[in-house]
Structure 1
Amino acid sequence: MPGKILITGGSGLVGMRLSEMLIDQGYEVAHLSRNPEKVSTYKTFRWDVEAGYIDESAVTYADYIINLAGASVASEKWSEERKKEILQSRTESVNLLHKALSNAEHHVKGFISASAIGIYGDSGDQLMSEESTYADDFLAEVCKAWEAAAWQMRDLHLRTVIFRLGIVLSIKGGALPQMARPVKMMAGAPLGSGKQYMSWIHIDDMCSLFIRAIEETQFEGVYNAVAPHPVTNKEFTKELAEAMKKPLVLPKVPAFAINLMMGEMSEVVLASQRVSANKVLHTGFTFEYNHLEEALESFYEEEKD
């Protein structure tokens, strides 16, 4: 019994793929956008988080809300201004939805929000589960505030699910094309020590998880959205070069060089995060891409065809 799904951040990487997959499964999809005039294949309602405005008919439209809104963490250096934007774009968008849902007659049954494994900080090779302690660096603080905002939905008796996303792999954006660029130019190398863990998930598995969380009421609370086999940065780079049929020629790219290029944002690539998928596996969810090799092949095989 597919229903109507309202997506915030729908024009982003995950939002676009998720919209396609929902439509394929018979759902109706609408997006919330600052500029609905932009040509979109999807029904679009207007909202303006900074102005605190949301079209009321968006809330009365939805059976479920999927929240993916938030300024990109990796698109520019972290000035104080940018950091504020990264935090507020996540918390204030949820606060606005919460306020709209509190004041409207609606039939929303559940709220499913993104968060990130950044909440665990740089945790070395320790396997992190949903119960593990949180870090206190900038990204962890952002995730904590983001999740706290999402938890407010439970006051409205909405089933609330939070997915802590790992590195979402897609050929259309995010980390993968950035990592593939040097490999393509025969200049691929592990970053930093190369020993830091990367917890990743194929974009199609990520979207399937969101859809499962809509359909199965057993989903409630926080889940790590990562594939079951995290790899080190060195392994990732090696697998990527193999999938792209390119040699790896350079030694490691030293951490100080990455810090110079990226500033504080280098945490994103240098922090080690080895995150457990057990809680999701216990729900009976099966990953289409359990291992990195299969995930990368799905992208680079397509490219050649």
Structure 2
Amino acid sequence: MPGHGTDECSSLFFPAQARHNELRKNMSNQTTFTLLGLSHSRPLQLLLFVLVSACYMASLLGNLFIVVTVLMDPDLLQSPMYFFLANLSLIDMALSSVAAHKMLSDLLSQRSTISYGGCMAQLFFLHFLGGSEMFLLTLMACDCYMAICHPLSYAETMHRHRCPGLWATYWAGGLLHSSTQLVLVAWLPFCGPSKLDKFYCDVPQVVKLACSDTYVMEILIMSNSDLISLVCFLVLLGSYCVILVTLRGCFGDGGGRKALSTCSAHLIMVSLILVPRIFVYLRPFSSFQMDKMASIFYIIITPVLNPIIYTLRNQEIKEAMKRLRTRLWLPC
């Protein structure tokens, strides 16, 4: 065959070009990734399916109940803090849905593959929602700081009409973060093997599959994540330190206890979200067995715990839920 002879001559006289052509051929065949998941034991997979399904449904119902409660209560809806809380619940529902659907399908069917396009979409939405959540938590900490440390100027600074602008800002920040991550990963060539040691597509695992030197890309990707995490962490830490110092002499009165309860709920929630993510992302791209556990915690478990934390520690939310049950003719 003439074409076959041409390829042989090209391989003989231009070995570098031949290797490049073979690499491009392999890259063109890289259309799917295999997710290794959590376990290959069928009984354990079925048990995980039941547990993850229960957590996912609890997350959807709990967060949806908070969203409905805030939307149906005029007093809560006019408060920036509860407006942001409802948005946090929406993010939690969306974030858990991005990975949970695929995880449950794989556990049930034992077909743990995902297309290249599906992998990139999953990666994009996870970082879009995760980045937006980081910015939202920082904004909620600033809101709490203004309400407690500058109560006289709070109504002017954080009035209800500024909420849409702040809403657009943290979503834009999440979009910029995820778009940057996606562009950096999409530039990498993939030519096999295609096994991801996780139950969803994430940047560290996908980058390790690239068949080229990824050192520069890893530095850029980590710089992107580290900068956002560091800035948000410093703002959160500074805000809550000032809040705790301000509340130090007010623990005995009702207002001080109420503010402390609200801030403690924020602190618990921030810790549950930030600590696992810091463990996974704020270090070089190396694998640890605890990565999967940390990922399960902030993807599956944390969205379940957030509604519980707020309903147990926030008196206004509990009262609003009672009013909602009365309005819907449900038993108290």
Q: What's the TM-score bracket when you normalise by the shorter of the two chains? A: under 0.3
| Higher relative contact order, structure no. (Cα contacts within 8 Å, ≥ 6 residues apart) | 2
TM-score scaled by length of structure 2:
0.24
Higher strand proportion (structure 1 or 2):
1
The structure where helix makes up a greater share of residues is 2
Instruction: Determine which structure has more spread, i.e. the larger CA radius of gyration.
Output: 2
